[in-house]
């Protein structure tokens, strides 16, 4: 079956979905999106959406900031996503992208007086960072945008120019990923992920005032650190040099899951290998997102609903 989308209130193959080249969002980046993982559980033959409600709550907040009218509630978006995955018939990990955009066919930068639209796609997840081997990162010369410029707490398409510049610079310089500093010179985030440091018995990560996107995976890891590993957590400004002396560093995100950072700016992090806490985190995290840990089962929304009822 070809990849499916919910587009113009219909379920269609993605290849049949079209928008005009004059669409406002194409010219000015006036759109918001989310990325949601559906994780395949082989034992139950089930795709579980991980923390879909939290993703859609953030989606609504992004749309509010961008003056995008989203006609569907969080519950309705969850049900629609379940149906789209169910119709797709995919029996593997999936990546869902809800997308709200200014659909008017007009020229001129603004948010008011424009039409809004929404679509939803499902595909197998694209290749991203190497979860198994870990990555090498470099500090980018591109600074993370400030909330006084474009609000980084919203997943706005136009913001990702900032990330794209940093990512390409990093790859062309021989790294796998970039780490961006904020305008004050403190660590902010990667190009599509949050950064966490293990320092002794603490998990340290930049806070919202450091112009990060408040990641769902980041929040998950901070909660698991406290509840399962008994670690202290700190959300605070992080200096660049703290990255170099951390015991372990990893990045988190919907696409990246939880990826060890083995080297930053040609400096080995810890032993230069995947650290014990990162290793422990990762194994438990993958069980959680696949619905295998009863304590956190409420985070996992089943898509094949007939199976879920039996």
What is the per-residue pLDDT across 214-244, written as a single tens digit (0 to 9) for each?
999 999 999 999 999 999 999 999 999 999 9
Of 155, 167, 226, 292, the catalytic one is: 155
pTM recorded for the entire structure: 0.95
Give the 3-state secondary structure of residue 161.
helix
pLDDT higher than threshold 70 for residue 39: yes
Average pLDDT of 95-115? 97
Contact present, 9 and 84 (Cβ < 8 Å): no
**Predicted local distance difference test score (pLDDT) of residue 307:** 59
CATH number of the domain that residue 201 is part of: 3.20.10.10
pLDDT higher than threshold 90 for residue 19: yes
| Number of alpha carbons in the 13 Å side-chain half-sphere of residue 68 | 29
Domain housing 251 = 135-274
Average pLDDT of 133-148? 96
In a shared domain, residues 101 and 164: no
Q: Which of 1-5, 72-76, 96-100, 184-188 has the lowest mean pLDDT?
A: 1-5
Domain end, chosen from 123, 145, 168, is at 123
Q: Give the ranges where 15-72 is alpha helix by DSSP (H).
A: 24-28, 52-65
**Predicted local distance difference test score (pLDDT) of residue 69:** 97
Has residue 258 been placed in a domain?
yes
Has residue 282 been placed in a domain?
no
Whether 155 is a known active-site residue: answer yes
Instruction: Name the residue with higher pLDDT: 299 or 131.
Output: 299
pLDDT higher than threshold 80 for residue 308: no
In a shared domain, residues 142 and 203: yes
Has residue 24 been placed in a domain?
yes
């Amino acid at each position: 079956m070809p990849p499916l989308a919910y587009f113009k209130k219909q379920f269609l193959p993605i290849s049949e979905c079209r928008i005009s080249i004059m669409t406002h969002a194409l010219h000015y980046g006036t759109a918001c999106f989310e990325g949601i993982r559906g994780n395949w559980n082989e034992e139950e033959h089930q795709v579980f959406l991980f923390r879909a409600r939290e993703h859609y709550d953030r989606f609504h907040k992004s749309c509010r900031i961008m003056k995008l009218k989203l006609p569907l509630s969080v519950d309705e978006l969850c049900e629609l996503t379940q149906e789209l995955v169910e119709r797709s018939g995919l029996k593997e990990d999936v990546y869902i992208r809800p997308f709200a955009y200014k659909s008017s066919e007009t020229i001129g930068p603004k948010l008011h007086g424009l039409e809004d639209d929404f679509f939803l796609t499902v595909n197998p997840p694209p290749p991203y960072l190497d979860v198994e081997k870990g990555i090498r990162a470099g500090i980018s010369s591109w600074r993370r945008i400030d909330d006084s410029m474009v609000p980084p707490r919203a997943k706005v398409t136009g913001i990702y120019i900032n990330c794209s510049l940093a990512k390409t610079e990093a790859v062309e310089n021989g790294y796998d990923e970039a780490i961006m500093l904020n305008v004050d010179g403190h660590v902010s985030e990667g190009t599509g992920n949050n950064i966490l440091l293990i320092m002794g018995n603490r998990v340290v990560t930049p806070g919202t005032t450091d112009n990060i996107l408040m990641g769902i995976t980041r929040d998950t890891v901070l909660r698991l650190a406290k509840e399962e590993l008994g670690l202290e957590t700190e959300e605070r400004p992080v200096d660049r040099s703290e990255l170099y002396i951390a015991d372990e560093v990893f990045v988190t995100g919907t696409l990246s899951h939880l990826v060890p950072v083995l080297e930053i700016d040609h400096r080995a992090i810890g032993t230069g290998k995947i650290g014990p806490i990162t290793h422990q985190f990762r194994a438990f995290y993958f069980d959680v997102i696949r619905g295998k840990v009863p304590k956190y089962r409420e985070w996992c929304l089943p898509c094949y609903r007939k199976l879920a009822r039996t």
